[in-house]
Each structure stands twice: as C-alpha cells, then as structure tokens.
Structure 1
C-alpha cells in the first residue's frame, strides 16, 4: 500500500482528470495526495512565509483548490520538481508507491490515448503507474469492478496483490482474465481450430488450472468477489473489451534483469494502454 498517491499535473485537462482519480484513490486508501509539477529548473527560493506553491502555474493551483473543496478531509501537497518529467515523476512515484498520470485524452491521433511522457514513465517507473484518460467519469464501484490480466503458468504476485487490493478498497468485484490457446497453452493471435474432443478436454483443464492458482489469493482477500475466466481471444483484445465495464484495468510489465536500462511495456500492456476504456494500472514485476 502506498504512503501517498503521487499525480503528475501540468494544467491540462488530461492531468486534471488524473488528479481527480488520484484524489479519490488517496481518500479511499487513507493516504495523502502529492501533486507534482515536473520539469524545468528549480523555482527561485521565496522568502518566508510566502507559500512556495504560489510559483506554480495558475491552473495547477486552481486544480489543487478545486480538489480541496471536493474532498475537504484530504491532505494535499503541491510542488514543483525540476528535471526531465519522466525521471522526476518516476522517482516521486517510486518513493511513495503509486503514480497517476493523465493520458492523451480522446483528442490527438485517432485511437491512441497515451502521450509520450506517460508512456515512457509507465515503462520506467519501479512502482505501479495508473494512466487516466480525459473523459473518465465517476469512481466506479461494485457495478464496475477491477479487471486484471494474468498467466496462470507464471502468476505475478505483484500484479495480483495490486489488483486484489484495489478491488478490496473499492468494495468491488475482481475479474481475472487469462488468454490462452487451448491447443498450445500460449497466448493466441487467432481463434483455436483443433479437433472438438481435444478442445473440450483442454477447455475444461484451463479454467481449473486458473482457479487453483487463484486459491491462495481468494483466501487472503475473502471479501473480494472473484470471477475467473479463460478466453481464446488475444490478451490485449480481451482486456480492452473487459475495460468497457471496469473502473480499473490492471496489466503487468515484466522488468528486465539482464537489460535494466532498456525497459519496455510489452505488447499486451501497450495495446491496453492505447485502447482501454477505463483507467489502466501498469504494475512492474520480475
């Protein structure tokens, strides 16, 4: 669980949507909200008792005040952090445990929702990064639960822990999706075309394997209703479709031990970030 929820703000409508999501996340988690305006040089030191936050852009200060009025009990700080935005945001998120960013929104290139800074930060940060698009509405809940993509052959404890925790703090259901080729056990790019008797046997085996893998997590989070599904759809497509009725979609990002200086999102995470209908959390894991 994070100590504070960090959100990157720059005065844009995209970052305003991210800040509202982050503020509600902080409130439900019992954390503070830390608003970061990243990039450029360090603002000049101001004499006391002047509030250093006053050196921030006016839209950022107005957003802070708006969130304070919206959630009056929430502890909110707002500061400028110098340096390259990707490095500054990733470092701030890593210290606190959770980073929230605005994506491109519904403007820009058709079908693409993620800007370069958000995409690169999600690929570099050592903490979970949530990307929220402009047009996100409401706070979700039981009716719009959390969706997570998994591979039962190599379950990630970091990804599942984050997904279960998010469902728990929302009082929401968790939908666990696994995309498999029922003939090979690998992620698929097309619908299966094996003999019916083989398909029937393998179709029965795959859900059972997933249920067995999730059993310890059900015990750890008994309050979270879980629906586990195995689909023959490609993982990216399955998660994008599931995101239509989700308040949060969770995907993993495998970190590279051999090439740590060359992080990547992976094809599934990349597709979901660009096309999901809900906020998307990218969780790094070994």
Structure 2
C-alpha cells in the first residue's frame, strides 16, 4: 500500500485553492496524509537569506506568510480532513522546489493558471514545468474558464469515470496502475480510450461520439473495422493483469478513429479524471520532454488531468 502523502501546491490564488480541495478529497479517498506546499515568493526568500546572513536577532524569526494563515483559516479543524495535514513553506524556484518535494508524494496536485486574452486555452508555466519534471504523478486541475458545466456533466452517461488514454504497446504500467487505483478509490469505472489513424474519408465524422464496449463484448467476428477490432484486442490483453488486480473496477473499452488528444479532451467534459503518460518511454526513460497528447490535454481539458511519469522500467 502506498502511504506517501498527497501534496497540494498552493500560492493563495483561487486556482490553487481549487487544487487544494481536490487534493484534500484525494487524500481522504486513499487514506493518506495531505501535505500543503507553498513556495515562498522571492521577497520572502530574500528576507530569510538577509536575516540569516546578518544574524539580526531583532528581526522576527519568520517572514509573515499570509498564504499559511489563509490555508489554516480555510481548513480549520472541521470534518472531512485527512488523518494528517501538514503545511510546508519551500524555498527556490517553483518547479525545482516542487520537483524535490514531489519525490515523497503519492501525487502532486496543482492548479492550471492561464494568462492573457486566451485564458481558457493557456497553461501556466509552472504547471507545465512541474508536469514535465516531477518524479511523481502530477494532477492539474483546470481553472473555472475551462471546466465543463457541472449540470451537463451529470447528464452524461459516462460522468464520473476515470478515463485512461492508452497506447497498448507503449503506455507504461505505471500509468495503468494509477488509473485503476484512482477508479478503485472512487468506486467507479475505468474507461479506456485508444485512437487509431485512418485514411481521410468524407464519410467519417470525426466529432461523432465514440462507443464503449465491455471486454465481454469482444466476440470473434465482430462488426467493427479491422483496425478497431485489433486495437480492442490489444487493449484487452494489456488490461488483463490490472483487471485481475482490481476485480471490483468495471472496465469500458473504446477504440476510436482520429486524434487521441482531441478524443480525450472530449471525454474530459464528463470525466472525474483523465490519466495519461508523460512521454514515450522508448525515446528516453528520463526525458524531461512531455508528449504531445499530455501537453494538449493540459492545454485544453475541461477537467482534472493526471500526467504520470515512468516510475519503473517496464518498457
């Protein structure tokens, strides 16, 4: 059992407080602790360095931290808190400080902070950098401008699923394990989505909704196109050990034509969480470059996205 804490990265903004709430619920679901991490702003770090160098005993030991005060007041000691809640002020650059603290995390949760005239489409630089380098899964919670309408999501038949973007021959086991563990903790379904390329055709409607099937429905001689049947069978083979490990988790499988990122963005409208791998493991197991699918999801998804690095060499 993974007893590492869920870490919430906060800076006092409403975006980060939304991520804190997501992290709090995740810690409760997984029965683990919650660590709230705040990277101090530059002026606070300069103050701490100046005081240490001058040994000025007349100055306060600590620089005032309004973020800590706000978090303390917000959480209080009410119900719904994990067993252990800690607050930690960090120094250094935001990506590096969170990368270091993430080494002891079950997952690191942060907000997506878009800036500029196209705020609904842009990803904050810190979110991008941490998702690309952290040694643990990073969950980025979309800001309000990008979130799907909750009432609409409740009306969708797939509302609340954990959606797993899967390339059967390339996605590392760590990504599948994370998706199944999240679904088990939520008591919900894993919906597996894989995309295959097709020749351009005027008869194909790329924006049409895709169908999902249970593994039991993959009978020989189905009506699907050969590429779809082969992909569904590859999914089934790859998912088998995880279904055995989590027999209580229902599985839906979908093989869809077209762009995987676009399909996953669509699925994010009604998903509790979309899970993808960070990069292609065969290109570089320790690569700091994020794959195009993960990057597109972080830019455009309508709900939380988990970007999972390769934690073990299973490629």
Tell me the TM-score range normalised by the shorter chain: 0.7 to 0.9
Q: Larger Rg: 1 or 2?
A: 2
Greater shift after overlay, 36-45 or 1-10? 36-45
1:130-141 equivalences under 5 Å are 130-135=139-144
Structure 1 residues 31 and 107: alpha-carbon distance in aligned structure 2, compared to 1, 3 A threshold:
farther
Would you say the 8 A contact 1:126–1:284 is kept in 2? Answer: yes
Structure 1 residues 86 and 239: alpha-carbon distance in aligned structure 2, compared to 1, 3 A threshold:
same
Would you say the 8 A contact 2:5–2:104 is kept in 1? Answer: no
Partner of 1:206: 231
Which residue of 246, 252, 265 corresponds with 1:221?
246
Would you say the 8 A contact 2:194–2:231 is kept in 1? Answer: no
Partner of 1:232: 257
Q: What is the rounded CA distance, in whole Å, between the counterparts of 1:227 and 1:107 in structure 2?
A: 38
For structure 2, the 5+ residue unaligned runs are 53-60, 200-205, 208-223
1:79-158 equivalences under 5 Å are 79-104=88-113, 109-135=118-144, 143-158=159-174
What is the Cα-based RMSD across aligned positions, in Å? 3.1
Greater shift after overlay, 168-177 or 256-265? 256-265
1:52-71 equivalences under 5 Å are 55=63, 57-68=65-76, 69=78, 71=80
Greater shift after overlay, 97-106 or 226-235? 97-106
Partner of 2:202: none
Would you say the 8 A contact 1:7–1:34 is kept in 2? Answer: yes
Structure 1 residues 232 and 260: alpha-carbon distance in aligned structure 2, compared to 1, 3 A threshold:
closer
Q: What is the rounded CA distance, in whole Å, between the counterparts of 1:160 and 1:228 in structure 2?
A: 13
TM-score, normalising length: structure 1: 0.82
**SS at the partner of 1:169?**
helix
Would you say the 8 A contact 2:168–2:238 is kept in 1? Answer: yes
Partner of 1:282: 307
Which residue of 180, 186, 189 corresponds with 1:164?
180
Residue deviations 1:106-165 (CA, integer Å, cap 9, x gap): 975244242001100110111100101233698x99941110101112341000000000
